[in-house]
Amino acid sequence: MTKEKMQPKVQTIWWEESPEPTICMLDQSLLPHQVVYLRHTHEQQVADAIKALKVRGAPVIGITAAFGIALAFSRLFRVQAESLSTTDIQKHLVTVCELFCHTRPTAVNLFAAVEHMQHCAKTVLREQGSLQYLAQKLYHEAQSMADEDFDACLKMGAYGVDLIADGDILLTHCNAGTLATVGWGTGLAPIYAAHRAGKRIHIFVDETRPVLQGARLTAWELQQEGIPLTLITDNMAGHFMRHGGIKAVFVGADRITCNGDVANKIGTYSLAVLAHAHHIPFYVVAPRSTIDLSLPSGEHIPIEQRDPREVTFIHDQHIAPVGVKAANPAFDVTPHMYVSAIITDMGIARPPYSTTLHSLYKANKSVKM
Amino acid sequence: MTKEKMQPKVQTIWWEESPEPTICMLDQSLLPHQVVYLRHTHEQQVADAIKALKVRGAPVIGITAAFGIALAFSRLFRVQAESLSTTDIQKHLVTVCELFCHTRPTAVNLFAAVEHMQHCAKTVLREQGSLQYLAQKLYHEAQSMADEDFDACLKMGAYGVDLIADGDILLTHCNAGTLATVGWGTGLAPIYAAHRAGKRIHIFVDETRPVLQGARLTAWELQQEGIPLTLITDNMAGHFMRHGGIKAVFVGADRITCNGDVANKIGTYSLAVLAHAHHIPFYVVAPRSTIDLSLPSGEHIPIEQRDPREVTFIHDQHIAPVGVKAANPAFDVTPHMYVSAIITDMGIARPPYSTTLHSLYKANKSVKM
């Protein structure tokens, strides 16, 4: 299949060069009821879009910031090519990087992307590169990050597709799809690959309280792709594992530790235990950047506690009594014993993960992603 | 403890005799944000209240209908005591019973209550009882149904309280409390009993999508009673079973079959499997009227499929893409292997239920509830 044919029907973010450098992005904050593409020609607009959650999903936030920094220098070159000293450009770099670092406080991919772009710019400046060269270099760097993400999604899809048979009914949680990446996503990548390969599949989609990413985002993007789905409340998963013929569960991950423990959206652990009880394979799909071999196990992952109002309110509606206490852990940790396989862009790891994840890294050490 | 001391802080429905016969009820459709008590002096108002879900919960719907029928004849006696023939009264009986039968289409307790009241009225009329006597008799019958429900709740509480220790953290699903009965409820009865007995307990309350009975009703009534609680989304249950120190799960039931299989609100089955995986006791609390010894197992219980809009909408907010398919089974069936004990008003049944439930019935055959 050509790369063009592998494009998802939904594109989250991309760069256009003419008539002027522009970052185009789907406004995810309006989904699923309005499909609006934004065109940004100023880095401030891009930063505001990240801040306003118009773009979300860890990988895509990092890529957006990288494109935003590239946009800043392309614009700078167009506006005042002749008048800037290296010191001025260095100052501008600091300002722009700070702009993006202040958009989302806890987005690891964001900081990594900003740091990478900053490092790249400093190298160019140290080598006395022109502003035009710097702008081009930063654009190519951002685009290559996007391409790497796209390719990683394709690879996860290619590795995972063999785990899906024609006619399978599958279940997914949260949004680990196109909307979180520039490609097919992570948890959904094998599902897209299976669909494109002509396998007839049906997806049960957990609505994923409290923020409803399943209902709002996953249901929408599968609908765009023409993949048949049934939306369910999270508490129906067990019932449909017992009676709905579910053959496998596919989820993404926020972080995977050395031993194969998986931190992911709250509710993932319950699903994994239910899948285990029903002898249904539970697959975690994530690129190598999600795997943190420095952490021995999931106990070492701190659990982010979010605003309880996400539980007691739905949009503006207060659904609980005033003054009631609510818990809102953002994610949970699934112990490796419940994970049937970890599908990465380097290949598939099976238990024992403490051995197999390392082996995948070793085998792929020389290969650039 | 005196019976007065055993009154829950929230009263769902009661009868007042003066200044004129009145049915007082809490308008549950406004909970948790407004606490409004309605006073109805006409049976039509009572029927409308059932229809508009101002009163809900199977046991309390039956009792409300019984009180409504009694109210109809008390009112009739006051308005036109002298002018009615037995035939007129019989016609009135048919009209009133039909009025209540048309309020909710699938409420088994409702039909049983109406049938019981009708049977009782026919007996009085056959024996040529006066309209005054008929009105009194019907009121006493309705009140005695309410008293029986109240007593059954107390008994379930008394049997279940020994399963709760001082300091326990417990989990419940949906609303199986005061708001569904005239007493302490079913699933919550042991919890109220433990609290009244001075045991310090903390309750995790599943919000219970799609209709959010946990967030709207259970959280509210526990708050009224002063029982500490934490509201969670349904998909957090596994996480808190693993990390939150949950010692037992208490739920109600819609129907229990001969072998101990339990039909209850959707999500109950997932909870039961999760509790089993965490070695946490899973208790079902229900009065004898919920146990259907004529059904051999849960496979014979048809699953009501409700409007998918309950899943795709929350109140008036459309949370999913237009045209998306959603599933909405109203309840699920938990196989008896996941049920640690069934707490009834006749005592506690432990596995094997096909023997122990029968034994409870036999031992209680001569005892009026």
pLDDT tens-digit series, residues B135-177? 999 999 999 999 999 999 999 999 999 999 999 999 999 999 9
Query: Could you tell me which of A263, A182, A194 has the C-alpha nearest to residue A227?
Result: A194
Q: Mean of the per-residue pLDDT values for chain B?
A: 94
Same-domain check for residues B148 and B197: no
Secondary structure tally for chain B: helices H, strands E: 12, 16
For residue A57, the tally of other CB atoms under 10 A from its CB is 26
Which one of the listed residues B151, B168, B206, B254 is annotated catalytic?
Answer: B254
- For the stretch B88-130, pLDDT in tens is 999 999 999 999 999 987 677 899 999 999 999 999 999 998 9
**Which residue type, as a one-letter code, is found at position A193?**
A
Phi-psi label, residue B284: left if phi above 0, alpha if psi -120 to 50, beta otherwise = beta
- Interface contact A326-B234, CB threshold 8 A: no
- Confirm or reject contact between A261 and chain B (CB < 8 A): no
Cβ–Cβ of A233/B312 closer than 8 Å?
Answer: no
For residue A244, give its domain range. 163-363
Find out whether B152 and B159 touch, Cβ atoms under 8 Å.
no
Q: Does A170 touch chain B (CB under 8 A)?
A: no
Tally of structural domains, chain B: 2
Please name the member of B229, B271, B325 whose beta carbon is closest to the beta carbon of A231: B325
B39 with B130, same domain? yes
Contacts of B10 in chain A (CB under 8 A): none
Would you say residue B7 lies in a domain?
A: no
Known catalytic residues of A are 254
Single out the residue of A333, A77, A341, A307 nearest to residue B240, CA to CA.
Answer: A333
Are residues B298 and B255 part of one domain? yes
Three-state secondary-structure class, residue B85: coil
Q: Cβ separation of B327 and A206 shorter than 8 Å?
A: no
Q: Do residues A76 and A84 touch, judged by C-beta distance below 8 A?
A: yes
Burial B259-294 (b: 16+ CB within 10 A, else e): bbbbbbbbbbbbbbbbbbbbebebbbbbbbbbbeee
Separation between Cα atoms, residue A275 and residue B68, nearest integer Å: 48
Residues 300 through 339 of chain B touching chain A, CB cutoff 8 Å: 311-312, 314-315, 317-327, 329, 332
Q: In Å, how far is A65's CA from the nearest CA of chain B?
A: 28
Cα A278 to chain centroid distance, Å, stands at 29
Residue A104 included in any domain:
yes
Is B281 domain-assigned?
A: yes
Q: Which residues of B touch A32 (CB under 8 A)?
A: 320-322, 324
Predicted confidence at residue B340, as pLDDT, reads 98
For testing the chain B interface, which of A270, A280, A311, A314 should be mutated: the one with the most B CBs within 10 Å?
A: A270
Tokens encoding A165: 């048979």
CATH number at residue A176: 3.40.50.10470
Residues facing A14 on adjacent strands: A24
Do residue B215 and residue A270 have CB atoms under 8 angstroms apart?
no
Structure tokens at B234: 């349904």
More confident residue, B82 or A131: A131
Q: Is the pLDDT of residue B2 over 70?
A: no
B3 backbone dihedrals φ, ψ, rounded to 5°? -60, -35
Residue A1: the pLDDT is 52
- A266 and B319 in contact by Cβ < 8 A? no
Q: Are residues B53 and B201 located together in one domain of the fold? A: no
Establish if B61 belongs to a structural domain: yes
In tens digits, what is the pLDDT along chain A, a chain of 369 residues?
Answer: 566 678 888 999 999 998 999 999 999 999 999 999 999 999 999 999 999 989 988 889 999 999 999 999 999 999 875 678 899 999 999 999 999 999 987 677 899 999 999 999 999 999 998 999 999 999 999 999 999 999 999 999 999 999 999 999 999 999 999 999 999 999 999 999 999 999 999 999 999 999 999 999 999 999 999 999 999 999 999 999 999 899 999 999 999 999 999 999 999 999 999 999 999 999 999 999 899 899 999 998 888 899 999 999 998 889 999 999 999 999 999 999 999 999 999 999 999 999 999 999 999 875 544
| pLDDT tens digits for range B285-324 | 999 988 989 999 999 888 889 999 999 998 888 999 999 9
| Residues B53, B116 within the same domain | yes
Looking at residue A303, its pLDDT comes to 85
- In angstroms, how far is CA A244 from the centroid of its own chain? 28
Would the CB atoms of B270 and A237 count as touching at under 8 Å? yes
The answer to whether residues A240 and A345 belong to one domain is: yes
- If asked whether residues B167 and B149 sit together in one domain, one would say no
> Which of B212, B235, B322 faces A234 most closely, judged by CB atoms?
B235
Nearest-CB residue to B236 (from A212, A220, A266) = A266
Both tokens of residue B70? 């009694």
Residues B248 and B191 grouped into a single domain: yes
pLDDT band at B368 (very low <50, low <70, confident <90, very high): very low
Q: Which residues of A92-129 are buried (b: 16+ CB within 10 A; e: fewer)?
A: bbeebbebbbebbeebbbbbbbbebbbebbeebbeeeb
CA atoms within 13 A on the CB side of B348: 14
Q: Last residue of a domain, which of A97, A124, A153? A: A153
CATH number at residue B123: 1.20.120.420
Min Cα separation A311/chain B (Å): 7
CA B261 to chain centre: 19
* Nearest CB to A274 within list B270, B311, B315: B270
Is there a domain that residue A51 lies in?
yes
What are the beta bridge partners of residue B202? B169
Residues in chain B with CB shorter than 8 Å from the CB of A325 are 228-231
The sheet carrying B347-349 orders its strands as B229-232, B202-206, B169-172, B246-251, B282-285, B341-344, B347-349
CA angle, A38 as apex, A33 and A41 as ends, to 5°? Answer: 170
Rounded distance between C-alpha atoms, residue B332 and residue A359, angstroms:
44
Pairing assessment for the beta strands A246-251 and A282-285 based on DSSP bridges: parallel
Instruction: Out of A215, A236, A267, name the one closest to residue B320 (CB).
Output: A215
Type of residue at B332: D
The reply to whether B30 touches chain A by the CB within 8 Å rule is no
Residues in a beta bridge with A169: A202, A246
Domain finish residue from A116, A134, A153:
A153
Whether residue A35 is found in the same domain as residue A137: yes
> Do A329 and A210 reside in the same domain of the chain?
yes
- Pair A147, A177 in one domain: no
**B265 within domain boundaries:** yes
- pTM, to two decimals: 0.93
pLDDT at B268: 98
**A194 with A175: CB under 8 angstroms?**
no
Q: How many CA atoms lie within 13 A of A24 on its CB side?
A: 12
pLDDT of residue A80: 78
Which H helix or E strand runs over B26? strand B22-26
Contact (CB<8Å) B242/A269: yes
> Chain B 134-153, CB below 8 Å of chain A: which residues?
none
Contact B186, B176 (CB under 8 A): yes
- Name residues 34-63 of chain B within 8 A of A (Cβ): none
Shortest CB distance from B229 goes to which of A232, A276, A325? A325
pLDDT for the residue B369? 40
Q: b or e along A168-177 (b: 16 or more beta carbons within 10 Å of the residue's beta carbon)? A: bbbbbbbbbb
Active site residue B292: no
CB within 8 A of A256, min separation 6: which ones? Answer: A262, A263, A284, A286, A290, A291, A292, A342, A357
Q: Which residues of B fall within a CB distance of 8 Å from A239?
A: 266, 269-270, 329, 332
Interface of A with B in 204-243 (CB under 8 A): 204, 206-210, 212, 215-216, 219-220, 223, 228-240, 242
Given an 8 Å threshold on Cβ–Cβ distance, is B317 in contact with A317? yes
Tell me, yes or no, whether B62 and B202 share the same domain: no
How many CB atoms neighbour CB A348 within 10 A? 17
Q: Shortest CA distance to A272 belongs to which of A290, A298, A250?
A: A250
User: Does a structural domain hold residue A4?
Assistant: no
Closest by Cβ to B317, choosing from A31, A315, A321: A315
- The residue out of A135, A153, A171 marking a domain boundary is A153
Q: Vertex A100, ends A98 and A101: CA angle to 5°? A: 60
Contacts of B228 in chain A (CB under 8 A): 325
Q: What is the 3-state secondary structure (H, E, C) of chain A?
A: CCCHHHCCCCCCEEEECCCCCEEEEECHHHCCCCCCEEEECCHHHHHHHHHCCCCCCHHHHHHHHHHHHHHHHHHHHHHHCCCCCHHHHHHHHHHHHHHHHCCCCCCHHHHHHHHHHHHHHHHHHHCCCCHHHHHHHHHHHHHHHHHHHHHHHHHHHHHHHHHCCCCCEEEECCCCCHHHCCCCCCCCHHHHHHHHCCCCCEEEEECCCCCCHHHHHHHHHHHHHCCCEEEECHHHHHHHHHHCCEEEEEECCCEEECCCCEEEECCHHHHHHHHHHCCCCEEEECCHHHEECCCCCHHHCCCCECCCHHHHEECCEECCCCCCCECCECEEEECHHHCCEEEECCEEECCCHHHHHHHHHHHHCCCCC
